[in-house]
Structure 1
Amino acid sequence: MVRTLNNVSELRQTGFGQPSPRHGLSLLWWFAHDCVQIDSNSRMIALCNPESGAFGFHRFYNSDNLLPKSNLPYYEVGNLNSPGSLPRYVTKKNTGYSDKSNKDRIIVSFNSHWNSFEKIYVTQHSDQVKFDRNRTYCISTDLLEDIQELRREDFLRGRTNRSEHITIDMPQSVQIHPSQSHSTCKECCSMLSCILFILIFIAAIFSYFK
């Protein structure tokens, strides 16, 4: 099973593309902004055609069963030794040596009939040939939309956005349990009844002596 990442915080926790000179985060930001669009049906429409070889896309044959079996072809992108027309901000830290500066990749399953990506994965090389299945993740449409809402500088710094929920724990001393709430309601009703009775009584006395 390949774990699905649903927000930027989950992505950061995996360590994908970190630290510099790894290029995975820049590669993913480029892909989210320039290569895919989420339509109203949550379909991931391709803005670039991996079949054409643009941006260094090439077939990934999944011979080691890194990813689930699919009737759709897989394509890989991110090899900085054959970067195609990837932008400079993605490629600039490549040293050209066998180090961590060129280990990150994006792999997609592409449906040419619908011109859409069925699945999008991020992964990293464990050696010069194989990918690390324990560092391979599926990118959800929610995470793509989160990245699309962030500037590249903010994304690289680890900033999240409004879609990630913040939970606030209420101190024990101020938490109201259901039984306490019911009791408090009864006390309020009793107090209001007493006040109303007193007001009626005062009004009656005032009317008697008027």
Structure 2
Amino acid sequence: MRTLNTLSELKETGFGQPPPRHGLNLLWWFAHECVQIDSNGSMTANCDPASGAFGFERFYNKESLLPKLIHPLVYYEVGNLHKSDSLPDYVTENYTGHSDSSNKDRIIVSFNSRWKTFENIYVTQHSDQFHFDQNHTYCISIALLKDIKELSRNKDFPRGRTNHSEHVSIDIPHSAQIKPYKSQSSCEECCAMLTSVLFLVMFIAAIVWFFK
């Protein structure tokens, strides 16, 4: 399974994009509200998945989507908008209530209830109403979670602009990209035409002077 370490890698996967998918807002919410990362890289849970808070529910991994766990670790998933009314509005605002892409994305965590810590964080999406897509399931690294924690949701995320991480560029429309080139090309053509006219005038003047 691929581990995503940077914002650009997250963008490349297409997870949570485009609206009405809710995965990016769900991931931003999780990074800011559900997990605390200490200097040793330990991910302490700010919420209790086992209690069902925010719509967390047990994920049994029946299809071996994720690695097998050793006790006391347990998988929980969150993000099913059909079963949660406690997630913030910015996560749920595009939910239609139908079987479409507005309820496609999920976060799955491996949780140690004894120490109240997360071992791993995964993002995934439904391939149909009942199954998750193995080819679009990724592990989120601690470094990426830290980067997301530094992003403001409306201004930066998912553009990916932090103080120290790489800047994820926004695609520029093709028409906008070629305008400077056209302007430069037109200038060069104009200079070439003026040079030709000047040369022609000098040539005519030389002929006139020769036959005087």
Q: Would you call these one fold, judging by a TM-score over 0.5? A: yes
Runs ≥4 residues deviating over 4 A: none
Aligned ranges 1:88-99 → 2 under 5 Å: 88-99=89-100
8 Å CA contact 2:24, 2:158 repeated in 1:
no
Gaps of at least 5 residues in structure 1 are 167-210
Shift of 1:155: 4.0
> Is 1:46 aligned to residue 49 of structure 2?
no
Shift of 1:24: 0.1
> Is 1:120 aligned to residue 121 of structure 2?
yes
User: Hey, what's the Cα distance between the residues in 2 that align with 1:154 and 1:81?
Assistant: 28
Shift of 1:156: 3.3
Match in the other structure for 1:101: 102
User: Hey, what's the Cα distance between the residues in 2 that align with 1:113 and 1:45?
Assistant: 11
Match in the other structure for 2:58: 59
Matched AA of 2:136: R
Aligned ranges 1:1-210 → 2 under 5 Å: 2-71=1-70, 72-165=73-166
User: Hey, what's the Cα distance between the residues in 2 that align with 1:29 and 1:53?
Assistant: 19
Gaps of at least 5 residues in structure 2 are 168-212
8 Å CA contact 2:80, 2:106 repeated in 1:
yes
Say which SS state the counterpart of residue 162 (structure 2) adopts.
coil
Shift of 1:84: 3.8
User: Hey, what's the Cα distance between the residues in 2 that align with 1:31 and 1:155?
Assistant: 16
Say which SS state the counterpart of residue 153 (structure 1) adopts.
coil
User: Hey, what's the Cα distance between the residues in 2 that align with 1:160 and 1:9?
Assistant: 10
Q: Measured at CA, do residues 8 and 108 of structure 1 come closer, stay the same or move farther in structure 2, by a change above 3 Å?
A: same
Matched AA of 1:67: L
Say which SS state the counterpart of residue 152 (structure 1) adopts.
coil
Q: Measured at CA, do residues 48 and 150 of structure 1 come closer, stay the same or move farther in structure 2, by a change above 3 Å?
A: same
Task: Give identity over the alignment, percent.
Answer: 65
User: Hey, what's the Cα distance between the residues in 2 that align with 1:150 and 1:112?
Assistant: 29
TM-score by length of 1: 0.76
Q: Measured at CA, do residues 64 and 70 of structure 1 come closer, stay the same or move farther in structure 2, by a change above 3 Å?
A: same
Match in the other structure for 2:197: none
8 Å CA contact 1:37, 1:46 repeated in 2:
yes
User: Hey, what's the Cα distance between the residues in 1 that align with 2:59 and 2:79?
Assistant: 12
C-alpha RMSD of the superposition: 1.2
Say which SS state the counterpart of residue 66 (structure 1) adopts.
coil
Q: Measured at CA, do residues 39 and 103 of structure 1 come closer, stay the same or move farther in structure 2, by a change above 3 Å?
A: same
Shift of 1:37: 0.5
Q: Aligned pair count?
A: 165
